[in-house]
């Protein structure tokens, strides 16, 4: 997946996510499509390409989310590295496996976001966030399941193998 493709896809999906969350009336929870993109980058992209694309995706989430500046940029790159480390020990080839992988990544992402927000702001109420984690992880898993064919389409693959090479 190329850098520009990941950034444009994240921008479009963040816009769609914002409309869906508002239209469905989800005030506490959200659908983390950016985590699905970062998880896919951790599985399929090279280290440098994935880290820079994760930085850009996190920066877009910072811009469109209205949260603490730099928090989601840091978390996207950190999550990319954690998912890349986890990808070395798990085999994710199916859409259902990717949905479970993205849901686990979203759980880690949400817990880290709550922890770092708690460090910054002592007066924020986090009780409602903890009660909505299960719904958010489930919605992110469903979104990752729906996005998997689209993300696979943008994956960089050679058009055809050369003669004499093994597949």
Q: What is the pLDDT of residues 13-25, one digit of tens each?
A: 888 888 887 787 7
Domain assignment of residue 166, yes or no? no
What tokens appear for 123 in the block?
A: 């007066």
| pLDDT for the residue 119 | 82
- The mean pLDDT of the chain is 84
Domain assignment of residue 65, yes or no? yes
From 77, 27, 75, select the one nearest 51 (Cα to Cα): 77
pLDDT digits (tens, 9 = 90+) for 48-71: 999 999 999 999 988 887 766 788
Domain assignment of residue 28, yes or no? yes
Domain assignment of residue 160, yes or no? no
Domain assignment of residue 120, yes or no? yes
pLDDT digits (tens, 9 = 90+) for 74-125: 999 999 999 999 998 998 889 999 999 999 999 999 899 888 887 877 766 6
Q: Calculate what percentage of the chain has a pLDDT beyond 90.
A: 38
- For residue 152, give every residue at least 6 positions away whose Cβ sits within 8 Å of its Cβ, in sequence order, or none: none
The size of the chain, in residues, is: 167
Could you give the angle at which helices 133-153 and 95-120 cross, rounded to 10 degrees? 130
Domain that holds residue 8: 3-153
Looking up residue 121, the CATH number of its domain turns out to be 1.10.1760.20
What tokens appear for 64 in the block?
A: 């469109």
The structural domain count of the chain equals: 1
CB 57 within 8 A of CB 6: yes
Domain assignment of residue 165, yes or no? no
Domain assignment of residue 115, yes or no? yes
pTM: 0.85
Domain assignment of residue 158, yes or no? no
């Amino acid at each position: 997946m190329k850098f520009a493709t990941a950034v444009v896809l994240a921008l479009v999906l963040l816009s769609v996510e914002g409309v869906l969350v508002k239209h469905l009336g989800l005030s506490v929870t959200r659908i983390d499509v950016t985590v699905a993109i970062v998880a896919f980058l951790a599985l399929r992209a090279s280290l440098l390409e994935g880290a820079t694309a994760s930085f850009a995706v996190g920066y877009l989430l910072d811009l469109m989310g209205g949260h603490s500046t730099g928090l989601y940029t840091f978390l996207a790159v950190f999550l990319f590295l954690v998912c890349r480390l986890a990808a070395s020990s798990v085999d994710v080839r199916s859409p259902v496996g990717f949905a479970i992988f993205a849901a686990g990544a979203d759980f880690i992402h949400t817990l880290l976001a709550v922890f770092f927000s708690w460090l910054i702001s002592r007066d924020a109420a986090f009780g409602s966030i903890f009660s909505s984690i299960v719904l958010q992880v489930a919605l992110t898993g469903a979104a990752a399941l729906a996005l998997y064919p689209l993300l696979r389409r943008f994956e960089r693959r050679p058009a055809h193998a050369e003669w004499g090479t093994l597949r």
